[in-house]
Amino acid sequence: METPLTPLEFARRACKLYPDRVAVVDRDSRWTYVQFLDRCHRWSAMLQQLGIKSGDRIAYLSPNTHAQLESFYAVPQVGAVLVPLNYRLTADDFVYLISHSGSRIVCADGDYLGTIDGIRSRLPHVEQFVALTGEGKDWLNYEAMLETSSAEFVRPEIRETDLLTINYTSGTTSRPKGVMITHRNAWMNSVGTLLHQPMTCADRYLWTLPMFHANGWTFVWTVTAAGATHVCLRKVEPRAVFELMKTEQVTLLCAAPTVLISLANAPAELRRLAPRGIRVLTAGAPPAASTIQRLEEELGWTITHVYGLTETAPFITVCEPRPEHASLSISDRAAIKARQGVELITSGELRVVDEKGKDVPQDGIIQGEIVARGNVIMAGYYNDAKATEQALSGGWLHTGDVAVVHPDGYVEIRDRLKDVIISGGENISSVEVESVLLRHPAVEEVAIVGFADKRWGEAPHAFVVLKQGAHAEERELREFARANLAHFKAPHSVTFIKELPKTATGKIQKYILRARQPAITPQ
């Protein structure tokens, strides 16, 4: 009587229980759950007519639209594997990802038809090109095909260990790796998310997080599991976000800390549009306690910090609130919320270990690497046995994140292994220094990197983005840091820039900043 654990079950249930509720909002269009799943079924039937079979890969290149959302149901329910691509990459990147995944079909939003046309000759194994919006020569029209398709398709047997998606990492230091996520991985993450962040059919979820990124942190399925409403957003801009919050009565969203910073620093007339009580999940980088405090204090939102990787489907910890936290001051509570937290009920086991593989003490001081194992860990990297063996050595996923464990068991990341700065034999956490500088009233964003230093070996350097209309001097920021940190941790120099280089999901690309070694490093 066992049935496979697959997020496709969420759609079946939602259609049965919430047939007439609005499932998807995309600009001026709305679809109920019956209408939304009918579209998915029609595309599944069309894919089978195009010859797609179990195990085939289909690549999608699209912002957060209803068509992109439909792919997370229509593709896997015929046994195929979805390959959602980061639309901010280059044409050469697309050639590599589409070729490496062996995708037979490429589906693209109208904004990217020209880009794909420019590389068609380099994609000889792609059999069909589908325009999700717009028109182009030799492109199949998605909407026209849906209109002529029936909703009848042959549903193959799907096992929970079958591949659901291949999600490519950012590839900042090497070629991107294709993370293989199974149906079981995604089901576990969605259910775990709902246990720690309950949702109901009355919720309205705003798509500020790219759907391509770790499958939108599995909210492409989690929202449907609750029978809630997906509110699509093509591009994250503060005005569009706040206006949709008001008009669509948004109750929940996910966002990287950089997005939260942009919302916290939006003009007051925009911030006033947002309903109070919005719940926000943030991850992707350690958020600053000052950002959390400002959003909760000024806007009345509730911020929950989660942590994970694409390789973990993606959540493995949540900063779970406890009753004793309620009696703390808002600043102390925000400091706790900035931690990565504890294991999700469904994610499996997480440890912080030293170089010998032994657990570090729960003292909030001794650092180690986060390792994990359990139900959400990827099946491996697609066509990359060597990288898979390295990442999963010893039966644990090695994250590369350096953390401490506090006496209450809450984990707190101090840095990426490659981002720890060793200055005069002392380890400096770039995250710690960044958190302090973000408390300065003129600072909007900051990134700390280590530069070569003749005296200290390495020295921290700050790249700072100031708030609009604000002013600060280098000496002022250095002294501010020295007043709030051990002196050796304070940045030796500061570079003011207009914006920090980031990935599509808001992660700061520090390798780009490291290439900008300043001519003079003050001592």
One-letter amino acid identity for 135? E
Tokens 């990297």: give the residue. 381
Q: Which tokens hold the place of 253?
A: 């969203």
- How high is the pLDDT of residue 519? 47
Closest CA relative to residue 338, chosen from 319, 324, 325: 319
Pairing of strands 57-61, 105-108: parallel
- How high is the pLDDT of residue 444? 93
- How high is the pLDDT of residue 254? 96
Domain 8-235 and domain 420-514, same fold? Reply is no
Q: Which tokens hold the place of 428?
A: 């400096």
Instruction: Give 297's strand partners.
Output: none
Closest CA relative to residue 89, chosen from 101, 98, 81, 80: 98
- CA 416, CA 430: separation in Å to the nearest integer? 9
Contact (CB, 8 A) for 128 and 50: yes
Q: Which tokens hold the place of 412?
A: 């707190």
CATH fold of 420-514, please? GMP Synthetase; Chain A, domain 3 (3.30.300)
Give residues with Cβ within 8 angstroms of 340, minimum separation 6: 286, 305, 306, 307, 317, 319, 403, 410, 411, 412, 413
Contact (CB, 8 A) for 347 and 188: yes
Q: Looking at the domain that runs over 8-235, which CATH code has it been given?
A: 3.40.50.12780
- CA 187, CA 396: separation in Å to the nearest integer? 21
- CA 264, CA 296: separation in Å to the nearest integer? 10
- How high is the pLDDT of residue 522? 44
Q: Which tokens hold the place of 164?
A: 């659901």
Tokens 């995309």: give the residue. 26
Closest CA relative to residue 173, chosen from 513, 511, 514: 511
Q: Which tokens hold the place of 404?
A: 């401490």
Q: How many CB atoms sit inside 10 A of residue 246's CB? A: 13
Closest CA relative to residue 197, chosen from 330, 24, 345: 345
Q: Is this prediction's pTM over 0.85?
A: yes
One-letter amino acid identity for 217? W
Domain boundaries, the chain: 8-235, 420-514
Pairing of strands 279-282, 302-308: parallel
Helix (H, G, I), strand (E, B) or coil at 378: coil
Contact (CB, 8 A) for 194 and 10: no
**pLDDT tens by residue, the chain, 523 residues:** 789 999 999 999 999 999 999 999 999 999 999 999 999 999 999 999 999 999 999 999 999 999 999 999 999 999 999 999 999 888 998 999 999 999 999 999 999 999 999 999 999 999 999 999 999 999 999 999 999 999 999 999 999 999 999 999 875 456 789 999 999 999 999 999 999 999 999 999 999 999 999 999 999 999 999 999 999 999 999 999 999 999 999 999 999 888 898 899 899 999 999 999 999 999 877 777 888 898 999 999 999 999 999 999 999 999 999 999 999 998 899 899 989 999 999 999 999 999 999 999 999 999 999 999 999 999 999 999 999 999 999 999 999 899 999 999 999 988 777 777 878 667 788 888 998 999 999 999 999 998 888 777 788 999 999 999 999 999 999 999 999 988 889 999 999 999 998 876 677 888 888 888 754 444 4
Contact (CB, 8 A) for 383 and 100: yes
Closest CA relative to residue 136, chosen from 92, 101, 106, 94: 106
User: Rounded to 5 degrees, what are φ and ψ at 113?
Assistant: -65, -40
- How high is the pLDDT of residue 135? 94
- How high is the pLDDT of residue 287? 76
Helix (H, G, I), strand (E, B) or coil at 11: helix
Share in percent of the chain as helix, strand, coil (round to 5): 35, 25, 40
Contact (CB, 8 A) for 187 and 5: yes
- How high is the pLDDT of residue 174? 61
Residues in the chain: 523
